[in-house]
Structure 1
Amino acid sequence: MLGLSPLTRDLPELQRDQLSKKLTSYSWAADELIFRAGDIPAGAYLLVAGRVRLTHDTAEGQELTVQIACPGDVLGSLHTHPVETNETATALETVCALFIPASHLESLIAEYPGLAIALVRLQQENLASTRADEIALTTRTVAQRVAGALLQLDRKMGVDVQDGARLLQVKLRRSDIAGLAGTTVESASRTMARFKNEGLVESGREWVKILDRQALESI
């Protein structure tokens, strides 16, 4: 996984082997809490196996899904000192992650310069993604944002099934789609119903299959 993660994949194999010996592995069962918004963990986690739901509570008390993390993603903030988390992370299935202590990050960067470059690149990508999401909220329709969320999930966790369809291999609630699309659960449900009637997707309780990716891309 260190060879696949954008944080460590550009390091030479020998350096990845050395780095792996300095990290501690942790695991959680399905539905187990990894950390809660407001916690101050002593570092960040590099997800190795399983998927994690990251949520943020709104001022109205609603739980908003902001990301479904997959192997290779980083959970928490990559800082050289412990900082408060903005999201709550919950395991969707059995999860394993490597812990990167904040207190060791500075020395790790000094020892592995490629890690510093990867950190800068990761921060740039996160800023660009955040900016794109902000623009989408004001310029795109709900249907466009829901289609975009489904395509993003497909790129991260879609698998080929029969007749060219793609199954999103994760437990996916309507509230997850709503959060990722920046809309309400009601609006997301109506849009998904429309997509289903038009033959673009199939869906059931906590699962979604994309039938017509090209149509979603056109939207």
Structure 2
Amino acid sequence: MSIHPVRSNCAHPHPCGIDTRIAVMKRSRLTRGLSEEQMVSLASGLDAWSWREGDPLLLAGEEADGSYMIASGRARITRDTIDGRELTLDIAAPGDIVGPVSTEPTPAVDSAWAMETTCALFIPATALAEVVSTYPEFALEILQMQQERLRQAREREVGQTVHPVQQRVAAVLENLAEKIGQRLSDGSVLLQVRLRRQDIAGMAGTTVESTSRVMSKMKKDGVIDSGREWVSILDSDALSDLAAGE
């Protein structure tokens, strides 16, 4: 995504009540193991920020002195390749953590872009360090989250070499359905995000052309329906079978 090289701080302070903060923390894997008293103690000291659609929450290479817990909205997580292409690695939804999960300032590996008006709680690395020292169980959650990110990266690399495109695309759609899907009255599951073909291609580790061919076949077979920047799952069982390689 192209931006002006001289970037001003595009984040804006955002009012976010304690009830909303606690609700988000209960949803987040990083903090849901804390007691409500612990959550209140942590949440009351965090700043909330908001971004407009297209604004960067953080850019790869910049030193991040903390991480963001998405409270509302969606963020596209991207990485630039050596040949200048931008790959979408994930879609962050409420409760997800964006940026390095570290107790000290760390360079960001990936960029994050607001896909719509987005609000997030900023967790400074110093605050994270204090929480870890006060609540040792929190350190285990950080370690497990870091391991999960490494596992997902390895699976993405392995999948690109051993799994066919259809299976990888189906797995991406199934994962998004679990994270941001809304079940409608007709039984279908609408992915509640403006989803580009290149986003799906990036997460599946394939080309936009291959992704379009696979999704056209899924649509023809009645597994999904789709249009410009939207996807709906019509047959979740069939999609699961495709994701499993069956």
TM-score (norm 1): 0.96
Corresponding residue of 2:90: 67
Give 1:22's aligned amino acid.
Answer: G
Matched, 1:204 2:227: yes
Corresponding residue of 2:35: 12
C-alpha separation in 1, matches of 2:240 and 2:127: 43
| 107, 127, 151: which one aligns with 1:104 | 127
Residue 211 of structure 1: how far off its partner (Å): 0.8
Residue 106 of structure 1: how far off its partner (Å): 1.6
Tell me the alpha carbon deviations over residues 33-92 of structure 1, each in whole angstroms, 9 at most, x when there is no partner. 211111112211111111100111111211100010011111100112211112111111
Matched, 1:22 2:59: no
Unaligned runs of 5+ in 1: none
Matched, 1:118 2:141: yes
Give 2:25's aligned amino acid.
Answer: L
| Residues 73-88 of structure 1 mapped to structure 2, 5 A cutoff | 73-88=96-111
The root-mean-square deviation of aligned C-alpha atoms, in Å, is 1.2
Unaligned runs of 5+ in 2: 1-23
| Residues 155-194 of structure 1 mapped to structure 2, 5 A cutoff | 155-194=178-217
C-alpha separation in 1, matches of 2:38 and 2:126: 19
Residue 104 of structure 1: how far off its partner (Å): 2.9
Matched, 1:33 2:56: yes
Residue 158 of structure 1: how far off its partner (Å): 0.6
- Secondary structure of 1:119's counterpart equals helix
Asked whether the 8 Å contact 2:64–2:100 carries over to 1, the reply is: no
Kindly tell me the number of residue pairs found equivalent between the two proteins. 219
TM-score (norm 2): 0.86
Residue 32 of structure 1: how far off its partner (Å): 1.5
Matched, 1:218 2:225: no
Corresponding residue of 2:3: none
**Between the two proteins, what is the percent identity of the paired residues?**
46
| 40, 46, 70: which one aligns with 2:69 | 46
C-alpha separation in 2, matches of 1:108 and 1:203: 44
Tell me the alpha carbon deviations over residues 158-183 of structure 1, each in whole angstroms, 9 at most, x when there is no partner. 11113211100000000000001000
